[in-house]
Chain A
Amino acid sequence: MDDFWTSLVQALRLIVSGDPILRGIILLSLQVSGGALAITVALGIPIGAVLGLRRVFGRGLITALLYTGMGLPPVVVGLAVYMLLSRSGPMGSLHWLFTPSAMIFAQTIIAFPLVAGLTMTAVRSVDPDLRLQARALGATSIQEAWAVLREARLGVVAAIVAAFGAVISEVGAVMLVGGNIAGKTRVLTTAIMLETRQGEFELALALGVILLALSFAANLAMLSLQGRSRE
């Protein structure tokens, strides 16, 4: 327990001191996970909505794939992305390996099934008569889809929260494709791993507290958004 409080104090001290290395790590963590989340939201919400609204060919198979994807081990994603981006891989010409772009790419793959799958489920759970009612009131197909998506907003926000939680806290994929290079690809999770290996438990725990606080703040912001939209 003493260790925990010491770490908490150290975490606060680190934050207050404005340590430039720590600031860089926090910023990169937010940049990578935020970037991955932005891409995932832009792709996953429309795709999830279409899957929830329309009877597309192979919907059962797509659903099974998305649900499986929700439990993808990050380290396996990291390995696959590593092989894709390595010099001999099909995307090697991009020269993304050991850069933040590779980390965003890997985290997008982790987050996408969560956002698309949970959006699809949320859309499917909306009263099917709502679409008929919207159409009867003169909605175009886009307005009809928007009405359904709006009704499913609580589920969609939950999907975004779940995806953010998954990417900000994962370590396997970013470690493999980013390489934990100081000042270049080191994020909070990989830094925690490094400090733990070096026996710097207090510092590792302090970084863990910062990670938790960031995650908590982001979730709180999204949940308050959810609450406001409910009013």
Chain B
Amino acid sequence: MSENTYEVRDLRRDYVGRTVLSLPSLTVREGERLALVGPSGAGKSTLLRLLNFLEPPTAGSIRFRGQEVPIGMAPIELRRQVTTVFQRPVLLDADVTTNVCYGLRLRGLRRDAQVRVLLERVGLGPLMRSPARRLSAGEMQRVALARALLVEPRVLLLDEPTANLDPYNVGLIEEIVGEHCRQHGTTVILVTHNIFQAKRLAERTGLMLSGEIVELGVTKDFFESPRDPRTAAFLRGDIVG
């Protein structure tokens, strides 16, 4: 088995004739926690959709765990190794347990004991029979996170998972993600506006601007001694783009 989760080459994504993502190369190692920061419209979410095989690239290639992914729709067994927690949790019109088990149900699996443990861990044990859409924003995001973790993905993609959440929920979600991924060796790619979150969670951090990764390095170096002046400007809070 390859030591790399992703090997991306000359990846490009165009929308209506406009290139929104252009990535000459990107390698993500197995079990690595990578953060991508950058302003809105930098192509971060587009990259996550391509890495979750939710849409095909316009050009270029993605090797996933040593296997070349065919352009177009990736095989289901490959797609099921990756999942995304989006900024806005989209839940089914059903109770918490049904929502949390949705990914498992798609795979024809049942893990009742694990569901209970996970629901307790994310602080939703007492709400397991509550209608999911009546929960608070933080609780809904925890349902979405539990649903993603329950399928034990090889790769967890987090697209601004804690935007607009209170500090308690941010802390809890970061703690659960960190703990789960250490235990299971899951590869995590986090997209965030919150540079402090990147600092807390990621081993490597990259800055994306206008569809390109302008700098990618070890998190400590990225924050303490950025090589690119645009990274330094972004970290200072200046407008870059």
List A residues at the B interface (Cβ < 8 Å). 127, 129-130, 132-140, 143, 147, 150-151, 230
Alpha-carbon distance between A143 and B108 when the two chains are bound, in angstroms: 11
- Shortest C-beta distance, B106 to chain A (Å), equals 5
Chain B 61-94, CB-CB to A under 8 Å as 1, else 0, gives 0000000000000001001101110101010110
- Shortest C-beta distance, A72 to chain B (Å), equals 32
Q: Choose one: B86, B93, B106, B157; the contact of A138 (CB below 8 Å).
A: B106
- The count of chain B contact residues (Cβ–Cβ below 8 Å) is 22
A136 touches B84 (CB 8 A): yes
Residues from chain A with a CB closer than 8 A to the CB of B148 are 137
Q: Choose one: B79, B90, B103, B106; the contact of A129 (CB below 8 Å).
A: B90
B92 touches A150 (CB 8 A): yes
A138 touches B80 (CB 8 A): yes
Known: A135-B79, A137-B106, A138-B106. 13 other contacts (CB 8 A): A127-B90, A132-B49, A132-B54, A136-B52, A136-B54, A136-B83, A137-B147, A138-B107, A138-B151, A140-B76, A147-B92, A151-B92, A230-B93
A133 touches B90 (CB 8 A): yes
Decide yes or no whether B102 CB sits under 8 A from chain A. Answer: yes
Q: Choose one: A143, A150, A230; the contact of B106 (CB below 8 Å).
A: A143
Alpha-carbon distance between A136 and B88 when the two chains are bound, in angstroms: 14
Residues from chain A with a CB closer than 8 A to the CB of B103 are 137-138
Q: Choose one: B83, B93, B107, B157; the contact of A151 (CB below 8 Å).
A: B93
Residues from chain A with a CB closer than 8 A to the CB of B106 are 134, 137-140, 143
If over half of B's interface residues share one DSSP class (helix, strand or loop), that class is named, otherwise mixed; here it is mixed
Residues from chain B with a CB closer than 8 A to the CB of A139 are 106
Chain B 149-177, CB-CB to A under 8 Å as 1, else 0, gives 00100000100000000000000000000
- Shortest C-beta distance, B130 to chain A (Å), equals 12
Given contacts A132-B54, A151-B93, contact A137 B88 (CB under 8 A): no
Alpha-carbon distance between A137 and B103 when the two chains are bound, in angstroms: 5
Chain B 127-155, CB-CB to A under 8 Å as 1, else 0, gives 00000000000000000000110010000
Residues from chain A with a CB closer than 8 A to the CB of B107 are 138
Alpha-carbon distance between A127 and B90 when the two chains are bound, in angstroms: 8
Could you write out 7 A-B pairs with CB less than 8 Å apart? Answer: A130-B92, A134-B106, A136-B82, A136-B157, A138-B106, A138-B151, A151-B92
Given contacts A132-B54, A143-B106, contact A138 B92 (CB under 8 A): no
Residues from chain A with a CB closer than 8 A to the CB of B49 are 132
A133 touches B93 (CB 8 A): no
Alpha-carbon distance between A230 and B83 when the two chains are bound, in angstroms: 28
Residues from chain A with a CB closer than 8 A to the CB of B86 are 129, 132-133, 136
A138 touches B90 (CB 8 A): no
- Shortest C-beta distance, A99 to chain B (Å), equals 43
- Shortest C-beta distance, A129 to chain B (Å), equals 5
Alpha-carbon distance between A147 and B86 when the two chains are bound, in angstroms: 18
Residue of A nearest to B103 (CB): A137
Residues from chain A with a CB closer than 8 A to the CB of B54 are 132, 135-136
A138 touches B79 (CB 8 A): yes
Residue of B nearest to A130 (CB): B90
Alpha-carbon distance between A230 and B93 when the two chains are bound, in angstroms: 8
- Shortest C-beta distance, A231 to chain B (Å), equals 9
Chain B 91-105, CB-CB to A under 8 Å as 1, else 0, gives 011000000001100
A137 touches B83 (CB 8 A): yes
Residue of B nearest to A132 (CB): B54
